[in-house]
Amino acid sequence: MTRHRIDQILSRHGYCSRGESRGWLKAGRVRIGDLIAGDPSEKVAISDLRIDGEPVDHPEGVLVMLHKPAGLVCSHDGREGPNIYSLLPERWLRRNPPVTSVGRLDKDTTGLLLVTDQGPLVQRWTSPRHKVVKRYEATVDRDLDPDLVPLFASGTLRLPDDPEPCLPATLTLTGDRTASLELVEGRFHQVRRMFACRGFRVVSLHRSRFGKLELGSLAAGEWTPIEAGAI
C-alpha cells in the first residue's frame, strides 16, 4: 500500500498547510489507528489516518454532482459575486489542487454541475473531442420556430465571433416556448447564443443531463458524490 508523509496528506486534503501540521499533531488531532501521531514526516497509509477522529475526507479525490441554483457564479474569484463553492465544504477549496467545476454554468442557469479536484477529468469532460452530451431545458421569450431544429442539427450554425460553426445539436420542441437541446460542446454562453442567432432570448435555462448522468431529484443547492464511470 502506498504511504505518504502525514504533513503532505494534511495539506493535499485541505486540513492545514505542511507548516501548520506540527501544531495539529501536537494538539493530538491526528492519529494513526489508535495512536496519536507525533512526527509529521512519518509515512503512513492514508486509510490508517484519523483526523479529529474521522477518516481522511475523499482520499481518492473529490467528484460530486451539484444542483446549481440560480444566482451563483462558477468562478473562484469572490469579486464576481457569490459562488457555488459556498455550497460545498470550505476545506475543499484548500485541497491541492482545489476543487473546480467541470466547465461552467452562467449565473442564472440552474442544474447539473460536476465539481472535482481531478484535472484530467475536467479536461476529458470539457473537450468536444470526447463528445460528452449535455442536455439543457430552455424557455425562450416568444413562440419557437420549428426551423430551428434542422438549423441546430446542421453543423453550419455560426455564432458571432466564433471561427468554427457549432457541431450538430439535437433540439426537441417541448412546448410553444420550451425546448430541450443536446450539445457535445461547451462554448461560452452557447445555448443562449445559439437561440440569439435567430432572435430568441433565453429566459430560463436548466441543465438536466451530463453524459449518462441525470440530475434526477437532487434538490437545488444539494450535492452528492458520484463515480467517474457514471458519466
For the CB of residue 138, give the shortest distance to ligand URA in the complex, in Å.
9
Known catalytic residue at 77: no
Residue 184: name the closest of 64, 63, 103, 84 by CA.
103
Please say which residue, 16 or 191, places its beta carbon nearer to ligand URA. Answer: 191
Is the Cβ of residue 6 or residue 105 nearer to ligand URA in the bound state?
105
Residues that bind ligand URA (CB under 6 A): 105-106, 109, 189-192, 205
CB nearer ligand URA, residue 157 or residue 191: 191
**Min dist. Cβ of residue 148 to ligand URA (A):** 15
Grid cell at residue 164: 468554427
Residue 70: CA atoms inside 13 Å, Cβ hemisphere, count?
Answer: 6
Spatial CA neighbour of 213 closest among 200, 223, 226, 203: 226
Least Å distance between CB 86 and ligand URA?
A: 18
Cis before 120? omega within 30: no
Comparison of 106 and 182: residue with beta carbon closer to ligand URA: 106
**Half-sphere exposure in the Cβ direction for 43 (13 Å, CA):** 4
Taking the complex as a whole, how short is the minimal distance between the CB of residue 140 and ligand URA, in angstroms?
Answer: 12
Cβ contact 183:169 at 8 Å: yes
How is residue 20 written as a grid cell? 501548520
Tell me how far apart the alpha carbons of residues 67 and 128 are, in angstroms, rounded to a whole number.
Answer: 23
- Runs of H (alpha helix) within 136-200: 148-153, 190-196
Given 7, 34, 52, 106, the catalytic residue: 106
List, by residue number, the catalytic residues: 106
